[in-house]
């Protein structure tokens, strides 16, 4: 589903990604952990065309991200194509980023109507079902600032799902939440994983990574230090750097 070969990304002089090799298979749940500044979020944003990579190859579903290959030449994708590809990938942010001037229902309906050009009635029914599914069937007409953080993040997940994505990216979805609200968001994510959604999750929730993740990847300094089955990596890290990180976190 996602294939990354020697992906590099710099912001000015700062090299954030220094060669990421990684493959994500359909229905796989991949958890990315690592200290802040290690490039986890940047890598996630590259997959969704929010950042452009400088070197290497990154492809989603067999198609290059941001470029089109013809012969041995690369052509930059025009904006319209980039938008179309983004619409096939769902993304959930640390700070929720719900649209504050729209109700929960309107937040979820917006993109299906405006981007996918669905009929309003179809989008409405789908949005209601999705909000029901994340446990917010009673909050359809409530504005984001009247919802708790956990509720907002669940609306954000429903909003991403409304586009029918083939891949979901989670960028530290529970880091901005009060501890007692983390569980409700993780429950929704666990449900998604069980239904077979392909997910890449940047997280600090080791418990979630252990129970739900198929693969755990530890990143530091823009490279992948270690990866493997979550239980094995967490219980028996092979690299010294992983050990010291985990001993500080767990």
Cβ distance to other proteins smaller for residue 138 or 250: 138
Q: Binding string, 189-228, against other proteins, x = CB under 8 A?
A: ----------------------------------------
**Shortest Å, Cβ 95 to other proteins:** 5
State yes or no: residue 231 binds other proteins (CB under 8 A).
Answer: no
Direct distance between the N- and C-terminal alpha carbons of the chain, in angstroms, rounded to an integer: 31
Residue 96 contacts residue 153 (beta carbons within 8 Å): yes
State yes or no: residue 78 binds other proteins (CB under 8 A).
Answer: no
**Shortest Å, Cβ 20 to other proteins:** 20
Question: Rg (Cα) of the chain, in Å, rounded?
Answer: 18
Which residues are CB-contacts of 4 (< 8 A; sequence separation ≥ 6)? 20, 21, 22, 23, 43, 56, 57, 58
Interface with other proteins: number of residues (CB under 8 A):
41
Inter-CA distances, 64 with 2, 41, 57, 116, Å: 10, 19, 7, 22
How far apart are the C-alpha atoms of 126 and 45, rounded to whole Å?
A: 27
State yes or no: residue 84 binds other proteins (CB under 8 A).
Answer: yes
Q: Return the residue of 8, 18, 57, 86 that touches other proteins, per CB under 8 A.
A: 86
Could you give the residue ranges of the DSSP H alpha helices within the chain?
A: 40-47, 79-87, 104-114, 120-133, 149-161, 179-194, 206-212, 230-235, 240-249
DSSP state of 25: -
Q: Return the residue of 38, 151, 174, 215 that touches other proteins, per CB under 8 A.
A: 151
Q: Binding string, 99-138, against other proteins, x = CB under 8 A?
A: xxx--------xx--xx-------------------x--x
How far apart are the C-alpha atoms of 53 and 176, rounded to whole Å?
A: 27
Residues 32-51 that bind other proteins (CB under 8 A): 48, 50
Candidates 56-64, 159-167, 203-211, 227-235; binding stretch for other proteins (CB under 8 A): 159-167
Binding site for other proteins (CB under 8 A): 48, 50, 79-80, 83-91, 93, 95, 97-101, 110-111, 114-115, 135, 138-139, 142-143, 145-148, 150-151, 156, 159-160, 163, 181, 184
């Amino acid at each position: 589903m996602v294939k990354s070969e020697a992906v590099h990304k710099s912001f000015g002089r700062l090299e954030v990604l220094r060669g990421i090799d990684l493959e994500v298979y359909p229905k796989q749940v991949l958890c990315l952990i690592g200290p802040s500044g290690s490039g986890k979020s940047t890598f996630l944003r590259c997959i969704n065309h929010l950042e452009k990579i400088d070197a290497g190859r990154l492809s989603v579903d067999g198609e290059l991200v941001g470029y089109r290959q013809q012969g041995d030449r690369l052509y930059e994708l025009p904006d319209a194509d980039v938008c179309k590809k983004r619409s096939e990938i769902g993304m959930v942010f640390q700070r929720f980023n719900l649209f504050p001037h729209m109700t929960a229902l309107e937040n979820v309906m917006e993109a299906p109507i405006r981007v996918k050009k669905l009929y309003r009635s179809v989008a409405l029914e789908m949005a209601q079902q999705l909000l029901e599914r994340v446990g917010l069937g009673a909050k359809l007409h409530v504005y984001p600032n009247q919802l708790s953080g956990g509720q907002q993040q669940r609306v954000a997940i429903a909003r991403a799902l409304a586009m029918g994505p083939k891949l979901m990216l989670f960028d530290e979805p529970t880091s901005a939440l009060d501890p007692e609200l983390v569980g409700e968001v993780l429950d929704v994510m666990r449900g998604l994983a069980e239904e077979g959604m392909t997910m890449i999750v940047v997280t600090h929730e080791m418990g979630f990574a252990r129970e739900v993740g198929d693969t755990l990847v530890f990143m530091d300094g823009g490279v992948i230090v270690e990866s493997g089955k979550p239980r094995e990596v967490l219980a028996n890290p092979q690299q010294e750097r992983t050990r010291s990180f985990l001993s500080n976190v767990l």
